[in-house]
Amino acid sequence: MNTTFAKALPIVAGALAAVLTPPKPIVPSAWAKDHLYVPDGPRASERWDPTLTPYVAEIIDLLGPDSPHNRVVVRKSAQTGLSIAGLAWLGSLIEGAPANMAYVLPTDEARNDFNSEKLTPTIEHTSALNKKIRKQLSRSGDGSTAKKKKFPGGTLNLLNANSAPDLRSKTLKYAVADEVDEWPDDLEGQGDPWELFEGRFISFHASADWKIFEISTPTIKGSSRIDADFEAGDQRFLFCKCPQCGARIRLLFENFKHKTKPPYEPYYVCQETGCIIEPHEKPAMLRTAKFVATNSEDGLYPSFHVDALTSQLTTWDKIAEKFVQAKGDPRKEKTFWNIWLGLAYEMRGDAPDFERLMERREEYAEGVIPPRGLLLTAGCDVQHTGIWAEVIAFAPDKQSWTVTARWLEGDTTDANGGAFLLLAALYDEWFSDSFGGQRQLDAMAIDAGDGGRANQVYTFVRSRPRAYAIKGLPGWTTPAIGTPSKVDIRIGGKKKRRGATLWPVGTWSLKAEFYTNLRKVGMSGGQEFDPPGYCHYGAFLGVNFFKQITAEYLTDELHRGRRRKVWKESGENHLLDCRIYGMAMADHLGLHRKTEADWLMLAKERGVPEELRNPDLLSPLSVRLEAMAAASAKQGPAPASAPSGTQNDQPPAPDRSRKREARRNKWKRR
């Protein structure tokens, strides 16, 4: 054999072997373990540690290029470490299976935040990605941009789910659909954005190697996209071994117990034998956790549920604290249910009977601010023949009093005449307080949503700094009071661009919150306390007032193929709208944000006598808990939006000196 050929043979053979040998399969979790650096949080700039969130590996590995699955769904709470999962998966694909891919977020702001706070730091600290992704070059079309990260073989596009051009113009093979519950139901009149999004994968249907990773915190039961998609899957939950009896159990919130005051001393009661599982046993127990599919026969794809109870990134004590703080406050309860338990919150939208509300009217003077009413707002609904208005006082614990409710009759075509003159008088009116002083409204909201009277409202508020032009918006994720926008206005027949400010108000959640509070039972129902959020009404209010504030209800509706909860009218509802607008103003003024120090300072500014500026004015936690316990002891009308389990009083945690066996026997005798 030729010597030269003999020497070349191993080289040629090696080259052929390299070409003919199939590449090693890409395992996303293995890639992340070896390469990925965490972008933020307490372990920012550190290598990703899979032992802290072991469930992430199984989830993202089902999306590997060699996996037969095209779609994986995760319904999650916060504090689970799953925000890194999408980055880990896409990062492994950029290096090992490059193609056009996308990360879709619900808003432009969310996209910008994701790029600056998560994606860019991840790329900078993860050398495997830093070497692949082209640098952002200001004067070159070849470089990456804030919305496009270019690499050999493809591009990572950051898309806005509220933009039809974003969802319609990209051909994709892989994508993360993030926080899908915040995606709109209808995108610019073109239908469900999910349908536009799915259309980007048509080119890969024949090869069947497209992948979608859908992940979100849920919102409202019956309207939650992630909840419906999770239930359509095989519904995998984490099951752990009980450290006492060895039974495989799923951690359920109904079995999570704690005291109602610090120290909370939380523990878990095993649903199989009544074993008491202490917090110090949690880490070892979670190391035994495995996903189990509970709907394997009918599930269309793998779907996972992960919540804070099974997270090593937070503590049971913190969960107990958050639940105690939320109980009795419908807005906080919804947040707890979504953010900590990863479950959709079930709204009850059936208003209490208006006659029952009339029976609990109280004897207090119209037009006088009650002692604890530190915020004073008004909500106004403009009609063609007059304006409805309600003035509301709010206490620090969200109790409210109708100070007055009026129909301001008159023509509304002139912002300087007719009913608007009466509205101006209400804006300027001084209301007597309970301490000999007088106060004006802190804020007045006026509905400009009626296109026929919008310009009049804009004109009215321009010269009145405490008046706000608002527009009610639907949707369960729309905030109570959103970011204002500038709108055009006509003055003296001339158009003035951006001459007024319009504030969006999320009416759906506020209505649910209001109806929850309406159903609470207070002292008029035999309770010792009026609970937080309780609504007070004076004897001066007539039947029409109560009919109007109870004139809507929640119902299920099929909207473009998706079922959702929507509000429907059952009669005139103008005063209900006024209440919602007044609540939005209270939210804007800080009703849900003020600290105890803030409230005490405001009480001083409002002339509350020093001897009354004490904790009782603010209804501290201990008083709130007693009030809620008393209110929930009698079933009466149930709180409107309490999902199953949230109104059950948590029994105090047993003394830690008691033996486990005694507690187990107590559980067995239940």
Q: What is the pLDDT of residues 61-100, one digit of tens each?
A: 999 999 999 999 999 999 898 889 999 999 999 999 999 9
Q: Tokens for 521?
A: 């039972």
* pLDDT at position 628 over 50: no
| Pairwise CA distance, residues 581 & 585, whole Å | 6
pLDDT at residue 13, as a whole number: 56
Reported confidence tier of residue 436, pLDDT bands at 50, 70, 90: very high
Strand partners, 303: 73
Report the candidate in 557, 532, 559, 537 with the shortest Cα–Cα distance to residue 548: 537
Residue 615, preceding peptide bond in cis (omega within 30° of 0): no
Read off the DSSP letter of residue 115: I
Q: Which residue has the tokens 């779907």?
A: 303
Q: pLDDT confidence of 568, banded at 50, 70, 90?
A: very high
pLDDT of residue 528 exceeding 70, the answer is yes
Model confidence pLDDT, tens digit, residues 489-511 = 987 778 888 889 999 999 999 99
pLDDT grade for 6, boundaries at 50, 70 and 90: low
Tokens representing 663?
Answer: 């507690």
**pLDDT value of position 351:** 85
> And the tokens for 404?
């007055």
Report pLDDT for 273. Answer: 95
Q: Would you tell me how many other CB atoms lie within 10 Å of the CB of residue 474?
A: 12
How confident is the model at residue 452, as a pLDDT? 86
Domains of the chain: 354-600+610-633 (3.30.420)
Cβ-contact 102, 94 below 8 angstroms: no
* Rounded CA separation 233/489 (Å): 50
What's the pLDDT band for 15 if we cut at 50, 70, 90?
Answer: low
The predicted pLDDT at position 138 comes to 58
Helix 419-428 to helix 454-462 angle, to the nearest 10 degrees?
A: 30
pLDDT confidence of 630, banded at 50, 70, 90? very low
Arithmetic mean of pLDDT, 208-213: 97
Q: How far apart are CA 58 and CA 63, in angstroms?
A: 9
Query: Distance between CA 141 and CA 79 in Å, rounded?
Result: 39
Which tokens hold the place of 466? 């405490």
- Lowest-confidence segment of 13-17, 36-40, 181-185, 513-517 by average pLDDT: 13-17
Mean pLDDT of 320-348: 94
Structure confidence at residue 498 (pLDDT): 86
Report whether pLDDT(399) > 90.
Answer: yes
Which residues are paired to 567 by β-bridges? Answer: 554
CB atoms within 10 A of CB 29: 22
SS3 267: strand
pLDDT digits (tens, 9 = 90+) for 224-260: 999 999 999 999 999 999 999 999 999 999 999 999 9
558 vs 387, which has greater pLDDT? 387
Q: What is the mean pLDDT of residues 368-376?
A: 97
The residue assigned the tokens 């915190």 is 217
CA angle 341, 345, 347 (to 5 degrees): 160
Structural contact between residues 301 and 71, judged by C-beta atoms closer than 8 angstroms: yes
Distance CA 523, CA 360 (A): 9
Residues 318 and 309 sit within 8 Å (Cβ to Cβ): no
194 phi/psi in degrees, rounded to 5: -65, -35
The pLDDT of residue 11 is 64
Q: 164-189: per-residue pLDDT in tens?
A: 999 988 899 999 999 999 999 888 88
pLDDT category, 537, cuts 50, 70, 90? very high
What is residue 637's predicted lDDT score, i.e. its pLDDT?
Answer: 35
Give 300's contacts (C-beta < 8 A, 6+ positions apart): 71, 232, 233, 234
Mean pLDDT of the chain: 89
- Per-residue pLDDT, averaged over 46-68, amounts to 95
Q: Using an 8 Å Cβ cutoff, are 457 and 446 in contact? A: yes
